[in-house]
Amino acid sequence: MTGRYPDEVDVAIVGSGPTGSAYARILSEDSPGLTIAMFEVGPTVSQPAGSHVKNIVDDDSRSDAQRRSEGSAPGEATLNSPRAVAAGGRRARPGTFLLPDGDFAASGDGLPLAAMSSNVGGMGAHWTAACPRPGASERIGFLDATGELDELIGQADRLLGVTTDAFDGSPLGDLLRERLAAAVDEGRAPAARVQKMPLAVHRREDGRLVWSGSDVVLGDETRNNPNFTLFDETLAVRVLVDDGVAVGVEVHDRRTGETHEVHARIVVVAADGLRTPQLLWASGIRPTALGRYLNDQSQVVFAARITGIEDLPVPEGQKVAGTLGESSGVSWVPFTDDLPFHGQIMQLDASPVPLADDDPVVPGSIVGLGLFCAKELSADDRLEFSDDATDSYGLPAIRVHYALTDGDRETIERAKAQIMTLARAVGEPLDDAPFQLPLGASLHYQGTTRMGETDDGTSVVGPNSETWEVDGLYLAGNNVIPTATACNPTLTSVALAVKGARDIVHRLSDR
């Protein structure tokens, strides 16, 4: 040991979000004799470590956990709703922090709301927990061709604890999906029809919701593994490479200010879509595709009220006293290539727009509609890393080059028309027109270390998530996804992490 760190481990994992945790879980299940060290730049803000902050019952404790996740400048003003995000200027949501002012756009439209979290569990401590399966062109063709993709996604469901029944007691959910289906289901394959949103959420016997974070992905299998150790408040500053082979990581102890080298047989970097390529650049690992093919999901949002329900009886078990719980029901309008949007339809506990004082709200009747749009991929949409300037962690400063194409703008306009169709199908639109959130608001940054079937210069990693350029270096996260997706990407990125972890197990068992 050097200080609180080991001198050597079998596998070093940078990042404690859902994908880094998936690596640790699969390694603990399939090869428990391997020593594993996981490094996280942020503090532990919840218990069990990595658990979702929504599971913190006390409001003040939850707010404190969110503030401690907000990087090197916690406590700055944040915004907590889509409408506030759209109207309130350039502010992050609770638990996240923005790229420094000016760094979000070096050219084009930029990503003004590009944000990150620094805490054990990463963004998995703050996410919406939506886990839709990719469809049509969102799917990864070369993994589909081998028959692997669905089995891997099934494993991701298992690790994340995905369910579809957590909100079965929500009032009017079935009616809402019936009305949405009447508007869009004709001609769709069964998997692409309106349905309940798969969520990494379960309901306890006492009725409380439990939202999955990295704690669920790690599971008891990892927590009880004596060969696994999580080191928080530890910044990885460099991947150590010797003659084209990853041999460990250099880490900076943010508690003491000391720097250490931890040697490893395998290195996994799962530091998010912005900081994973940043760490590779800082390590001198700079393949052509690094930071390129950046893509995010433009969001169009609106609200409506379910009408014609005043005389409907509330089924037994669906009576609600007072307001509904947060996210009281989530329905899903899947992506198709003809309508390249992913729809996340949420029954809200309050109206996002003011209603008349004498206008009573039936529980479950206020609906927030959101459509996420797939982006046209381009190598010109990229991250640029400085050789001179540094960020608050001392790593190369990030600049964003990102522009919507004419095709992207057409898709957004189509989404606006489609969301009005959905709102009218639901009942009464609650505003004059939908609005588009500022770019970067989805927090779904993908493609910056994308996967490829062959090493043709357009990808950073191969089908097992190992980098083409450095042997024994694996990457994880939404940044590995090579397709343009509209659906929430976490399920897919965890599935890819399962495949990478299995490759490590096979690889180290052969040595």
178-181-186 Cα angle (round to 5): 140
User: What's the pLDDT at 87?
Assistant: 64
Question: From CA 91, how far away is CA 93, in angstroms rounded?
Answer: 7
Q: What is the C-alpha R_g of the chain?
A: 22
pLDDT one-digit tens code per residue, 122-180: 999 999 999 999 999 999 999 999 999 999 999 999 999 999 999 988 888 999 999 99
Q: Is 52 in the active site?
A: no
In the predicted structure, residue 358 carries a pLDDT above the cut 80: no
Whether 352 contacts 303, CB under 8 Å: yes
pLDDT one-digit tens code per residue, 319-329: 333 333 444 68
User: What's the pLDDT at 314?
Assistant: 52
pTM for this predicted structure = 0.95
User: What's the pLDDT at 208?
Assistant: 87
- Which one of 202, 401, 444, 506 is the catalytic residue? 444
Give 124's DSSP letter. Answer: G
Question: From CA 200, how far away is CA 205, in angstroms rounded?
Answer: 17
| Distance, first Cα to last Cα, the chain | 24
User: What's the pLDDT at 103?
Assistant: 81
Q: Domain spanning 8-509 has what CATH number?
A: 3.50.50.60
The order of strands in the sheet holding 107-108 is 107-108, 396-402, 382-390
In the predicted structure, residue 86 carries a pLDDT above the cut 80: no
Per-residue confidence band for 312, with pLDDT thresholds at 50, 70 and 90:
low
Reading the block at residue 177, the tokens are 């999906």
In the predicted structure, residue 292 carries a pLDDT above the cut 70: yes
Question: From CA 5, how far away is CA 251, in angstroms rounded?
Answer: 9
Closest CA to 475 of 495, 449, 503: 449
User: What's the pLDDT at 421?
Assistant: 97
User: pLDDT exceeding 70 applies to what percent of the chain?
Assistant: 92
Rounded mean pLDDT, 95-108: 87
Give the list of residues 6+ apart from residue 50 with CB closer than 8 angstroms, or none.
16, 21, 120, 121, 124, 125, 213, 214, 215, 217, 218
327 φ/ψ sector (left φ>0, alpha ψ -120 to 50, else beta)? left
- The rounded Cα 129 to chain-centroid distance in angstroms is 8
Give the list of residues 6+ apart from residue 257 with CB closer than 8 angstroms, or none.
none
- The rounded Cα 500 to chain-centroid distance in angstroms is 18
User: What's the pLDDT at 327?
Assistant: 44
SS3 490: helix
User: What's the pLDDT at 493?
Assistant: 98
The residue type of 371 is L
Question: From CA 480, how far away is CA 490, in angstroms rounded?
Answer: 11
Rounded mean pLDDT, 353-378: 84
